[in-house]
């Protein structure tokens, strides 16, 4: 009887343990399920975008900015120091090669040109004068040399006569010595004259050469000034559109100062700017991808400017 009661108690304890364990497992599973449901993110199907994958090359690019400019732009500068006399063509006007854009007051340069012509003519006359003096000195030395030679010949004859008289007993040794002394003095005078005239000729030749060099320099300066004066008629060298012109009539412009810009609008290029941090990676000939709004173009880097301004490198 006691054994039956103990078996019933044991079965009740085992059932209670099983029920408690099953309830704990259920609660744990429920907690895990709700935790996973709460932590998982939900994404709407409309937020997904799909596309067909294509096979291609992945390009590693350097980001830069740029602006579209005319491929060719000519800067017309003033060849002389002058004032602006008249503006013939304004900005925006189309021009052909050989057309006048503006007029300069060339009076000051013209006066300088005439002054240099006068100076050059004076130098040429001075060279002619030196040549005449050089020729005269040559004739003088030849004439004086002939005269001195005649006197030397005469003194040589006197020396011979004095010696003959001395041998014949009609003269003295003193007469011979005197004649020989006169001959020696005459020869020294002839040599001295030749040396003086030779030195004078060399000096005159140096002066003439210096004058010729100065005249040649003056001639080149005159030709250069004449060229600048001819170019002072501000004309276009090719067809294009005037993008800018100096309209300050009466203003004084210096030599080399810009007067106008002419662009050829038949072709354009991109002038790009990029940080100098990428200077070593930027190379001439590399492919350039240009995006203008929705349009994409391709080209090549043709020129990299060597200067760096404000940590920016420019290229075409």
Residue 251 burial (C-beta neighbours within 10 Å; 0-12, 13-18, 19+): exposed
- At 105-124, the pLDDT tens digits run 888 888 888 888 888 888 88
**Which among 67, 90, 82 has a CA at the least distance from the CA of 260?**
90
Indicate the angle between helix axes 107-168 and 173-231, nearest 10 degrees.
170
65-105+235-315: CATH number = 2.40.50.100
- At 167-204, the pLDDT tens digits run 777 667 887 778 778 878 878 888 887 787 778 777 77
Q: What whole-number distance in Å separates Cα of residue 186 and Cα of residue 110?
A: 61
For the chain, percent of residues with pLDDT exceeding 70? 85
Q: What is the pLDDT of residue 38?
A: 56
Q: What is the pLDDT of residue 172?
A: 76
For the chain, percent of residues with pLDDT exceeding 90? 0
Residue 48 pLDDT grade (very low, low, confident, very high; cuts 50, 70, 90): low
Highest mean pLDDT among 34-43, 50-59, 226-235: 226-235
Q: What is the pLDDT of residue 51?
A: 65
Q: What whole-number distance in Å separates Cα of residue 174 and Cα of residue 45?
A: 148
The domain locations on the chain are 65-105+235-315, 109-231
Q: Contact 83/253 with Cβ under 8 angstroms?
A: yes
Residue 1: pLDDT above 50?
no
Of 19-23, 233-237, 280-284, the least confident: 19-23
Q: What whole-number distance in Å separates Cα of residue 208 and Cα of residue 131?
A: 7
Provide the mean pLDDT of the chain.
Answer: 78
Sequence-distant (6+) residues with CB within 8 A of 22 are none
């Amino acid at each position: 009887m006691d054994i039956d009661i103990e078996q019933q108690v044991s079965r009740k304890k085992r059932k209670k343990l099983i029920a408690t364990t099953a309830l704990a497992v259920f609660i744990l599973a429920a907690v895990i399920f709700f935790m996973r449901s709460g932590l998982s993110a939900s994404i709407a199907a409309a937020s997904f975008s799909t596309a067909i994958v294509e096979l291609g090359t992945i390009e590693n690019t350097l980001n830069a900015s740029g602006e579209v400019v005319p491929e060719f732009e000519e800067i017309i500068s003033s060849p002389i120091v002058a004032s602006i006399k008249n503006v013939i063509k304004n900005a925006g006007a189309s021009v052909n090669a050989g057309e006048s854009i503006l007029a300069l007051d060339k009076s000051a340069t013209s006066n300088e040109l005439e002054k240099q012509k006068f100076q050059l003519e004076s130098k040429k006359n001075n060279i002619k004068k030196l040549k005449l003096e050089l020729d005269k000195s040559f004739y003088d030395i030849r004439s004086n040399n002939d005269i001195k030679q005649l006197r030397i010949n005469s003194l040589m004859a006197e020396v011979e006569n004095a010696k003959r008289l001395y041998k014949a007993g009609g003269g003295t040794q003193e007469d011979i010595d005197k004649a020989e002394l006169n001959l020696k003095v005459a020869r020294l005078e002839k040599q001295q004259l030749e040396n003086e005239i030779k030195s004078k000729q060399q000096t005159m030749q140096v002066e003439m050469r210096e004058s010729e060099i100065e005249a040649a320099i003056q001639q080149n300066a005159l030709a250069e000034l004449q060229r600048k004066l001819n170019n002072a008629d501000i004309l276009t060298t090719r067809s294009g559109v005037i993008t800018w012109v100096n309209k300050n009539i009466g203003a004084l412009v210096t030599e080399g100062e810009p007067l106008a810009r002419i662009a050829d609008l038949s072709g354009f290029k991109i002038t790009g700017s990029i940080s100098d941090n990428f200077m070593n990676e930027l190379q001439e000939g590399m492919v350039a991808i240009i995006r203008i709004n929705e349009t994409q173009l391709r080209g090549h880097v043709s020129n990299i400017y060597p200067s760096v301004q404000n940590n920016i490198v420019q290229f075409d």
